[in-house]
Chains A and B, each alone.
Chain A
Amino acid sequence: MRISHELIERAEAPEALYLVGIPNGGVPLARQIARNLAEIADLEVPVGVLDTTLYRDDLVSSGARPKLRRTEMPSAVDGHVVVLVDDVASTGRTIRAAMDALMDFGRPSAVQVVALVDRGHRELPIKIDYVGKNIATGRTDLVKLRVSGETDAETMEMVLLRGEGGTSA
């Protein structure tokens, strides 16, 4: 809810906003933010889904390829302020891939990033514009977000499992 308010407050032209969820975690969040915007400001904001898999820079030489996910951009992005929405931000590589993908869909007037959680360890010069929560984590910690349904993304649970895996999200 707080992020939704910030978005309205900081947007020069709120009607130009275009939310794009990055699967899987970012998609319900983007939808929730859209509902919030409708409630707060009576704004109808388009919501897209953008799979970044084909833009990843870590396609490994052996082993199975990651499964592709849905991409669905309901309208052109040209002239819009596109807000990329992800659940957990970390290295910045997913955001980089999402920006590349986005550019193939047109020329947004600006791109911003929302992440519910920022766990640090950035590897690319990428700034998260709106952060729900910063968490200090170790590189090998695993952050699990449990969002209770699409209805209320803010009643999420956050579980930090120390040192149990690679960087997720």
Chain B
Amino acid sequence: MARVLIRGGRVIDPAVERDERADVLIEDGRIAAVDASIDARDAEMVDASGCWVTPGFIDLHAHLREPGQEYKEDIASGGSAGAAGGFTSICCMANTDPVNDDPSVTEYILDRARNESPVKILPVAAATKGLKGEIMTEMAALVEAGAVAFSDDGRTIMDSDMQRRVLEYSKMVGRPISVHAEDLSLVRDGVVNEGPVSTKLGLPGNPAAAETINVSRDVHLAEITGGHLHVGHVSTGGAVALIREARARGIHVTGEVTPHHLTLTDAETMGYDTNTKMAPPLRGPADVEACIVGLADGTLDAIATDHAPHAVHEKEVEFTEAPPGVLGLETALPVVLQLVRDGRLTPMQLIAALTFRPAKVFQLETGRLTRGAPADVAIFDPERRWTYDTTKGYSKSRNSPWNGKEMIGRVVTTLVDGEVVFHVDRGVLHP
């Protein structure tokens, strides 16, 4: 098989704390060598000068909508959006139609991914049948079929005993339970963060306590069960503090935060743009700050996009009626690079949160550039300016708060198993 040599980039590999100018040699789809200067004249050359060369990004949380809602997104379009954003592995949530609560659905997704997606698709299966919080899914069979984690994301398992049993049972298969932590009885009809902004807008508020109460419950359940709790899309300082304290006590808790919860506040909703409606909602500045600190100090493991495509007609409705969620795969990198430019995260911390650390959370062998690892690589120019236009993106949907905004930092090349699947000038190259 052909050899590929990535030359002249700044290689950042959190697995070995490497941050230096180096060449990367790929053989047979795996990393063969990383060194200051590699001579491989027979290899296909990929010029990375002026770019950072990092492991391909791993998204622990995305909604690809297939099967069932292909008008919003499908595995091909979502996978392409991922490739364009530097993501080489996308964990797709179970709230499809039918729900991914059965091995046949998991297999279907993986089968579609093999044929349609330029990047790796890793299904997250439902924790309970039909996301109803009543009957546990067949976790052993789902893992056998290829599920990497379990989640009822989009819904919260409100019954505490059910949540406890799910965490307990998952230990048998050694996979995490990723939770959407919102106390729905407290959320009620809340659609924006409860605070001065909800008061001004006159829209029902969703209080931060709805998240912290649920995270608190789940942390205690993780403690008594010994299960691996992964907290999805953390948005509040309270949740960050609970996770920090739980980890200090040795409880198996990990957490992720989205690019929007790291960079946008609830002030974005002042114009009633439904593309600023998320669940959990955008929070106030203190919560955003706490999430950044939590990511920097290691309390939170991963930046996950919560990529949630919705069709234009679904978003062009009353704020209260619009489905929550925004696109994330194509904008995640430039959005979070701002944290590096602002000195809030080191390049190593940022890349770790996109690659090595999420890989550890879901026990993946990717997310590293060490010899023998799958050659999933993102090559990007951190200074390149471009304007994000949803009509020119790969996603089928348009719901982004960054539409029309100038972005700094752009993926130039994405490789999966040593093959170029995206190049900024050539677009997505299908397998």
> Taking the complex as a whole, does A directly touch B, i.e. does some CB pair lie under 8 Å apart?
no
Q: Which residues of B contact A (CB under 8 A)?
A: none
Q: Which A positions have Cβ atoms within 8 angstroms of B?
A: none
